[in-house]
Structure 1
Amino acid sequence: MAISLIRTPISHPLIHSLRSSTLSSIDESLRRKRLLSSCAPSQLNPIRSEVSFCVGTHLIPHPNKVERGGEDAFFVSNYNGGAIAVADGVSGWAEQNVDPSLFPKELMANASNLVGDEEVNNDPQILLRKAHAATSSIGSATVIVAMLERNGILKIASVGDCGLRVIREGQIIFSTSPQEHYFDCPYQLSSEVVGQTYLDAMVSSVELMEGDTIVMGSDGLFDNIFDQEIISTIARCRDVVEAGIS
């Protein structure tokens, strides 16, 4: 599974390194406090409140898939306010001697390359369309893409059972819902002509605030860990960070 832990700090327009860092949540928080403390407002260049991602990722393959590096893929981009995505390869392709990881990896690579495309225009559903059309590998994947505008609006498009949670002050204030034909048969983008397309994506948006945490992952995360466990884990990490800073 792939997980992105994201906070949305108020950032100075000149601090590009803050918006583009890909760090562990603890190291990022320490660095963020140092960066923000050095940004005193200037009378000539007042600070404009904008939000952006600070990201930490972790990939934990299923024990039977470790040798292949797992069948999930993800990308992180600092374009605009930031973009993140997760794709989960469908294991059933292995029965046809097809590596299930190839399709999601190419899909995510294409999405990463297209995130700044003028036609995409910060629309994750259009990004899915263009990335899917550019993918030539055989296979299929469930996928979720989230793109952040600098005004704090997070736009989300998902096909299947990859998910996203927004956590604010110890509470989940937003979560995506899985799409399934029936149990254990989620919607998916595929190399096959018959299948779901970007038009089948579930599209949503949520307004973020400074300090929000976003957790994004494949069903390998959300099928095995309760939301309350995710919340408590994040709280413990914050306690460690605050103890280390104080």
Structure 2
Amino acid sequence: MHSVALYGRLLARAIATGIHSELQIQRERAREPLQLVTGSSGFSKTITKSTNTRKWAFGDDAYFISKNKTVDVIGVADGVGGWRSYGIDPSAFPRILMATCERMVQEGCFRPQAPATVIAASYQELMEQKVPLIGSSTACLVALHREERTIYSANLGDSGFLVIREGEVVHRSQEQQHYFNTPFQLAVAPPNQQGLVLSDSPEVAESTSFGVEEGDIILLGTDGLFDNMQEDMLLEYISKVKDHKEETVQTTASNIAEKAYQLSFDPEYMSPFAMSAMDAGIDFRGGKPDDITVIVARVTSLGET
């Protein structure tokens, strides 16, 4: 009887020790720094070409993926195509804006908790050029602070992002529009058109923060994505990201971009853009042909590759 009781105490102690060890492992893992494993893709509405090249522009869209010692940052910008009728390349402004943001991230010239300051500083640099870079664009940046395990975002306009956890959207950006199909935007106008061109201050960008967990997915895109794909469609594609391998994430980004591109030219599809048009009293049906940029980023521990 004594030996049975002793065995029972030893077994209970072993179980308790095992539980304690498992809890300790979980606590330590919860404190591990995080990183983003990313994939990117897109289409120009006029050139049927997609790519996973990191530094690229799709039509009048532009994006970047960068990091420094503290943060991983992803960003997109959507140029205003109306400048083309004035003989101005509308892709130049967003492309240089994103390239400047990328450089500032790499140099660590910003506070990780305030990505809006990167947009503001980059925009200021464009305005101060000896030969002003004429144009307009939206801008959306998401920064993952590795040690804090928190994303900080800044969104100006109708690009945006979703944070997806276990198949559900747990955080999202808010679209900023003056009126239907006219988003908030940064702009540099010719001297003779100052005050005549729609331009918003980077200070009005929506800024948010959100604690993320390993396994979360961040889906960032321009309006060409969100105007053409319903949220449940996006979640279906994201559900296929089962691991943190870069090729898995890249394949998902490519598949989403290809689907959005197909739907954008479907005249019978009731797209999110068409539904918004109807809400605004506009008779419109079908997808919205547009430049499309997609970045898929999986949150994983810094020790994994």
TM over 0.5: yes
Alignment match of 1:63 (pick from 33, 46, 63): 46
Q: Distance in 2 between matches of 1:96 and 1:232?
A: 41
Aligned-residue identity in percent: 32
Aligned partners of 1:53 and 1:81 also within 8 Å? no
Q: TM-score if structure 2 supplies the norm length?
A: 0.60
What is the one-letter code of the residue matched to 1:126?
T
Kindly indicate whether residue 175 of structure 2 is the aligned counterpart of residue 178 of structure 1: yes
1:41-84 deviation line (CA, Å, top 9, x unaligned)? xxxxx986011111111121113686x95110001012223001
* Pair 1:124 & 2:115 matched: yes
Number of positions where the alignment pairs a residue of Structure 1 with one of Structure 2: 195
Asked if 2 retains the 8 angstrom alpha-carbon contact of 1:93 and 1:100, the reply is yes
Task: Decide whether the 8 Å contact of 2:67 with 2:106 is kept in 1.
Answer: no
Aligned mates of 2:230, 2:223 — CA distance in 1: 12
Q: For 2:67, give the aligned amino acid.
A: N
> Is 1:169 the counterpart of 2:166 in the alignment?
yes
Contact residue 66 and residue 106 of structure 2 kept, 8 A: no
- In 2, the alpha carbon distance for the partners of 1:69 and 1:216 equals 14
Counterpart of 2:293? none
Per the normalisation by structure 1, the TM-score is 0.74
Residues 86/158 of structure 1: CA separation in 2 closer, same or farther (3 Å cut): same
Q: Is the 8 A contact 2:138 2:157 kept in 1?
A: yes
CA contact (8 A) 2:141 2:155 kept: yes
- Shift of residue 125, structure 1, vs aligned partner: 0.9
CA gap of 1:148–1:69, structure 2 versus 1, over 3 A, is closer
Gaps of 5+ in 2: 1-27, 50-56, 127-131, 249-305
In 2: Cα distance, 1:198 partner to 1:221 partner? 23
SS at match of 1:154: strand
Structure 1 distance, partners of 2:47, 2:41, is 18
Mapped pair 1:77 → 2:60? no
Structure 1 residue 198 displacement after superposition: 1.3
Structure 2 contact 36–72 (Cα < 8 Å) conserved? yes
- Determine the C-alpha separation between the residues in 2 that align with 1:234 and 1:158: 22
Match of 1:95 in 2: 85
Q: Which residue, out of 210, 218, 231, partners 1:227?
A: 231
Displacement of 1:119 after TM fit?
A: 5.0
**1:235 Cα deviation from its structure 2 partner:** 1.3
AA partner of residue 63 (structure 2): F
Q: 2:76–2:140: 8 Å Cα contact kept in structure 1?
A: yes
What residue is the counterpart of 1:19 in the other structure? none
> 1:65 & 1:163 partners in 2: Cα distance?
23
Shift of residue 133, structure 1, vs aligned partner: 1.0
Name the CA shift for 1:51/1:112 in 2 (closer, same or farther; >3 Å).
Answer: same
Distance 1:129 1:53 in 2: 24
Distance 2:58 2:106 in 1: 28
Deviations 1:175-202 (A, max 9, x none): 1111111001100011135421211111
Provide the C-alpha distance between the structure 1 equivalents of 2:81 and 2:109, rounded to a whole number of angstroms.
Answer: 32
Larger Rg, first or second structure (1 or 2):
2
> Given residue 85 of structure 1, which amino acid in structure 2 is its aligned partner?
G
| Partner secondary structure for residue 239 of structure 2 | helix
Tell me what 2:137 maps to.
141
The Cα RMSD (Å) is 2.2
Aligned amino acid, residue 165 of structure 2:
R
Deviation at residue 118 of structure 1 after TM alignment: 5.4
Runs of 4+ in 1 over 4 A off after TM superposition: 116-119
Contact kept? 1:51, 1:81, Cα under 8 Å: no
Counterpart pick for 1:198 among 202, 210, 228: 202
How far residue 169 of structure 1 moved from its aligned partner, in angstroms, is: 0.2
